[in-house]
């Protein structure tokens, strides 16, 4: 049996459990409290979440630090040459320059991010350095690059990856700016995790929208938009058209909805509902959210079909399709 089928079968079995002492009918009529989630757990967006989760899991086991884990996990994607939306191999902006955004956050409110940064192979580690070594939360552009140099980060040559160069050359023929759902623009990695002691952390890293205007910054480095983590409640991360996510402060919104009692799933659904209401041309916009509460329950929801995520627990690392507002 495939891992995904096995996982689905297990979840179905879980929801069919009866309460001892009640007949089948009574048990069906009684609202059964959703089974508590599991700890530790690490979640990340899209297919590349599988290798990223594997690295994060290994790091968690090695150091016991969830912060180390969420950094190590997305560093894997930052080096993935197949991925055209994360790291320096990502598709460039309209001028042919690749600029990166990243953020990292702990459940105690510590956070750091970098935006519109060039020549840095691991923006997530730079975001962590902003969090740990400066009095600030966010550095952008040339200032972020200067800080990277001062911190001893190697500067990479500004040269497009062979795959990105081919795509950019094709794009230049028409030079049309038209984001395509789930194809060129939707491979950002957002990772959120909960450790065995109940602490939460998250990370998010991207090269942003392909062929964006030079200087454009998306949701991923904006605390509360692409990522938000609070040990009292839970964590959320986002992927998709950053402008639509910033407009509703997506990740913060989900955490606050969970604080008011919604499940991670219900909170993600409400965020998508709001995003759909606040954005024009919604048929051309994909956005997806992934959330976890402090009990380890998970939620995920997207505007359009096609969003999936990877979930690592003690019982394995599996890919799961998220439901969506619009149906296929
Ligand atoms: C951005 N949210 O820069 C990112 C892009 C993305 O999956 O998530 N792609 O708008």
pLDDT tens-digit readout, 172-204: 998 877 666 555 456 899 999 999 999 999 999
Say what angle helices 66-78 and 123-133 make with each other, to 10 degrees: 150
Mean pLDDT throughout 76-102? 94
Q: Please state which of the ranges 33-42, 154-163, 209-218 shows the lowest mean pLDDT.
A: 33-42
pLDDT in the model for residue 185: 53
3-class DSSP state for residue 292?
Answer: strand
pLDDT of residue 90: 94
pLDDT of residue 292: 98
pTM over 0.75: yes
Query: Which residue ranges have their beta carbon within 6 Å of ligand 1?
Result: 85, 185-188, 206, 208-209, 218-220, 239-242
Quick one: which atom of ligand 1 is closest to the CA of 45?
A: 7
Least reliable range by pLDDT among 19-33, 62-76, 216-230, 231-245: 19-33
Residue nearest to ligand 1 atom 7, measured at CA: 186
Mutate to test the pocket of ligand 1, among 186, 211, 279 (most ligand atoms within 8 A of CB): 186
From 83, 92, 206, give the residue whose CB has the most ligand 1 atoms within 8 Å, as the site to mutate. Answer: 206
Closest residue to atom 9 of ligand 1, CA basis = 186
Q: What spacing in Å lies between the alpha carbon of 245 and ligand 1's midpoint?
A: 9
> Per-residue pLDDT tens for 250-263?
999 999 999 999 99
Q: Tell me: pLDDT of 220 over 70.
A: yes
Determine which helix (DSSP H) or strand (DSSP E) holds 319, and give its type and residue range. strand 316-321
Going by the DSSP 8-state scheme, the letter that residue 46 receives in this structure is S
Give the mutation target among 218, 227, 248, 289 for probing the ligand 1 site: most ligand atoms within 8 A of CB. 218
Q: What is the pLDDT of residue 30?
A: 38
Catalytic positions, please? 188
Cα–ligand 1 centroid distance for 196 (angstroms): 30
Q: How many residues does the chain have?
A: 328
pLDDT band at 36 (very low <50, low <70, confident <90, very high): low
- Atom 3 in ligand 1: residue holding the nearest Cα: 208
Domain boundaries, the chain: 2-321
Cβ-contact 91, 168 below 8 angstroms: yes
pLDDT above 70 covers a percentage of the chain that reads 86
Please provide the CATH number assigned to the domain covering 2-321: 3.60.20.30
pLDDT in tens, 119-177: 999 999 999 999 999 999 999 999 999 999 999 999 999 999 999 999 999 999 988 77
The CA distance from 98 to 110, in Å, is 28
Average pLDDT over residues 46-58: 97
Residue 313 — pLDDT band, cuts 50, 70, 90? very high
Whether the bond between 40 and the residue before it is cis, its omega within 30 degrees of 0, is: yes
- pLDDT value, residue 106: 98
- Contact yes or no for 320/300 (Cβ under 8 A): yes
pLDDT at residue 29 is higher than 70 = no
CA contacts within 13 A on the Cβ side of 252: 12
HSE-CB for 132 with a 13 A CA cutoff: 11
DSSP secondary structure, 129-161, as one string: HHHHHSS-SEEEHHHHHHHHHHTTPPPPP----
Q: H-helix or E-strand containing 170?
A: helix 162-174
The answer to whether residue 296 scores a pLDDT higher than 50 is yes
Cα(325) to centroid(ligand 1), Å: 19
**How would residue 20 be classed by pLDDT, with cut points 50, 70 and 90?**
very low
């Amino acid at each position: 049996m495939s891992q995904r089928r096995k996982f689905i079968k297990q979840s179905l079995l879980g929801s069919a459990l009866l309460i001892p002492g009640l007949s089948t009918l009574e048990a069906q009529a009684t609202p059964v409290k959703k089974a508590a989630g599991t700890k530790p757990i690490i979640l990340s967006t899209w297919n590349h979440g599988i290798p990223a989760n594997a690295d994060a899991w290994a790091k968690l086991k090695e150091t016991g630090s969830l912060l180390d884990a969420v950094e190590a996990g997305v560093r894997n994607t930052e080096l993935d040459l197949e991925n055209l939306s994360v790291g320096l191999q990502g598709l460039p902006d309209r001028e042919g320059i690749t600029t990166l955004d990243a953020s990292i956050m702990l459940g105690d409110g510590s956070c750091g991010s970098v935006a519109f940064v060039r020549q840095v192979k691991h923006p997530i580690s730079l975001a962590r350095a902003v969090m740990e070594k400066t009095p600030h939360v966010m550095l952008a552009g040339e200032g972020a690059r200067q800080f990277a140099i001062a911190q001893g980060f190697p500067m990479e040559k500004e040269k497009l990856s062979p795959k990105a160069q081919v795509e950019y050359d094709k794009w230049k023929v028409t030079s049309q700016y038209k984001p395509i759902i789930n194809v060129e623009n939707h491979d950002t990695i957002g990772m959120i995790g909960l450790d065995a002691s109940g602490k939460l952390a998250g990370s998010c890293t991207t090269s942003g929208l392909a062929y964006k205007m030079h200087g454009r910054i998306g949701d991923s480095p904006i605390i509360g938009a692409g990522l938000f983590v609070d040990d009292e409640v839970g964590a959320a991360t986002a992927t998709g058209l950053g402008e639509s996510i910033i407009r509703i402060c997506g990740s913060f919104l989900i955490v606050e909805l969970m604080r008011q009692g919604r499940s991670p799933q219900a909170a993600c659904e409400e965020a998508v509902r709001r995003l759909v209401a606040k954005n024009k041309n919604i048929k051309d916009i994909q956005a997806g959210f992934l959330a976890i509460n402090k009990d380890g329950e998970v939620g995920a929801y997207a505007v359009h079909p096609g969003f999936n995520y990877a979930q690592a627990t003690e019982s394995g690392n599996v890919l799961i399709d998220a439901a969506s507002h619009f149906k296929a």
